[in-house]
Amino acid sequence: MRLLQRLSEVDGVPGHEDRVRALIASELEGRVDDLETDAMGNLHATVRCGRPGAPQVMVAAHMDEIGFLVRHIDDRGFLRLQRLGGFDPRTLFARQVTVYASLDGSERIGVMNPAGKPIHISTAEERAKVPELDTFYVDLGLDAERVRAGVRIGDMVCLRQPFADLGEVVTGKALDDRAGCWILLRTLGALEDPAVDLHAVFTVQEEVGLRGAQTGAHHVRPDIGIALDTTLAVDTPEIREDLRVTRLGGGTAIKVMDSSTISTRWLVDALVALAERRELPYQLEVLPLGGTDAGAMQRSRDGVPSITISTPSRYVHTVTEMVSKRDLEAGAALLTAFLQEGPPAER
């Protein structure tokens, strides 16, 4: 779990994935047939099986996490933010953040809160209102002159949260989708004698519309696309059982559909059959709202059979995301088995 800790704690919002990419590239250096970064910033790691005519399989895991860019610096030095990705403002009160100040190269700790009165002096009506996302600001504890000497509009702002191993599960920030990056790295490390050519693509800008996977798939021209991502595990108090999507610890999730993709049906059948045969814990997932890189791969070029292998996560898009080690291992085992056996002849 040390690698997952490093993946969780490194920062990279959409378009600013360089630190994540450097960490992943350092894990892969010399261990794959090809390692290159494309113009968008996707990291492509290729493993060839040496069989002529082998299926080309693209497996995508996104490097970016939801976060912010500096949108405005006011005359007292407070920062206003542009969000990148879907935040729930109720999860953003009283947070520490890191501001990557590009003018002086420093990493500055700040605190984030919504504009408005503290509880001691607010009315019941004021307390009941959830503040809009654009009322949140960052306080660096510095005056405007010192802030402006270091921080520029467009600089990256990330939430700070240490990773924690709770035994059966881990919790931390950015597990969406560093959990997917971990599964892909683990698979690359364990893969022996694959039946396909593997194009492992660590993608950029997924959280703002599957942008990296779109150009990545165009370049790779895969025969099959598999996205690795997290999905909702809403198996928490006071939620109706039929709304839970997946259950934490219930196994890797084979996605049937979400709002970006209806998974290619023969791939659903093939992964279910494989999980059954290998006795890997799995669950089927229908997610009413949300998408993955499979959406971009499936619609690339002339269309590509595509699916997502998801890792159930509680508290998605907060800094307390929680995933189960059992589900992570099952996801890596299922992906490895598929790459070793190759797609079934009968589709």
List residues with catalytic annotation: 206
> Could you tell me the two tokens for 284?
């089927």
Beta-ladder partners of 229? 310
Site for Zn ion in 139-178 (CB under 5 A): 176-177
Q: Which long-range contacts link 17-25 to residues 24+ away (Cβ below 8 Å)?
A: 17/41, 17/63, 17/64, 17/204, 17/205, 20/63, 20/64, 20/178, 20/181, 20/202, 21/63, 21/202, 24/63, 24/181, 24/185, 24/202
Instruction: Decide whether 198 or 287 has the Cβ nearer to Zn ion.
Output: 287
Rounded distance between C-alpha atoms, residue 277 and residue 173, angstroms: 34
Specify the stretch interacting with Zn ion by CB under 5 A; choose among 145-153, 221-229, 295-303, 308-316.
221-229
Residue type at 109 in one-letter notation: I
Site for Zn ion in 61-80 (CB under 5 A): none
- For the bound state, the minimum distance from the C-beta of residue 177 to Zn ion, rounded and expressed in Å, comes to 4
Applying CB under 5 A, does 321 fall inside the site for Zn ion? no
Instruction: Decide whether 177 or 327 has the Cβ nearer to Zn ion.
Output: 177
- For the bound state, the minimum distance from the C-beta of residue 290 to Zn ion, rounded and expressed in Å, comes to 8
Q: Which of 11, 17, 229, 258 binds Zn ion (CB under 5 A)?
A: 229
Alpha helices in the chain (DSSP H): 2-9, 18-28, 124-128, 144-150, 175-190, 211-220, 265-278, 294-298, 325-341
CA dist list (Å): 325 to 236, 314, 328, 329: 18, 13, 5, 6
Q: Quick check: 202 and 61 in contact, CB under 8 A?
A: yes
Rounded distance between C-alpha atoms, residue 188 and residue 61, angstroms: 13
Specify the stretch interacting with Zn ion by CB under 5 A; choose among 121-129, 162-170, 223-231, 271-279.
223-231
Q: Quick check: 57 and 49 in contact, CB under 8 A?
A: no
Total residues at the site for Zn ion (CB under 5 A)?
3
- For the bound state, the minimum distance from the C-beta of residue 261 to Zn ion, rounded and expressed in Å, comes to 13
Instruction: Decide whether 155 or 177 has the Cβ nearer to Zn ion.
Output: 177
- For the bound state, the minimum distance from the C-beta of residue 60 to Zn ion, rounded and expressed in Å, comes to 10
Q: What are phi and psi of 274, to 5 degrees?
A: -65, -45
DSSP per residue, 258-282: -SS-B--HHHHHHHHHHHHHHT--E
Classified as helix, coil or strand, 250 is: coil
Interface characters, 84-113, with Zn ion (x: CB under 5 A): ------------------------------
- For the bound state, the minimum distance from the C-beta of residue 276 to Zn ion, rounded and expressed in Å, comes to 27
Residue type at 31 in one-letter notation: R
Instruction: Decide whether 155 or 321 has the Cβ nearer to Zn ion.
Output: 321
Site for Zn ion in 175-194 (CB under 5 A): 176-177
Instruction: Decide whether 229 or 327 has the Cβ nearer to Zn ion.
Output: 229
Site for Zn ion in 117-136 (CB under 5 A): none
- For the bound state, the minimum distance from the C-beta of residue 305 to Zn ion, rounded and expressed in Å, comes to 21
Specify the stretch interacting with Zn ion by CB under 5 A; choose among 115-123, 225-233, 241-249, 302-310.
225-233
- For the bound state, the minimum distance from the C-beta of residue 332 to Zn ion, rounded and expressed in Å, comes to 17
Specify the stretch interacting with Zn ion by CB under 5 A; choose among 14-22, 87-95, 166-174, 229-237.
229-237
Query: What is the end-to-end Cα distance of the chain in Å, rounded?
Result: 37
Specify the stretch interacting with Zn ion by CB under 5 A; choose among 163-171, 222-230, 242-250, 282-290.
222-230
3: Cβ–Cβ under 8 A, 6 or more apart, which residues? Answer: 27, 182, 185
Beta-ladder partners of 282? 252
Q: How many CB atoms lie within 10 A of CB 264?
A: 19
Binding site for Zn ion (CB under 5 A): 176-177, 229
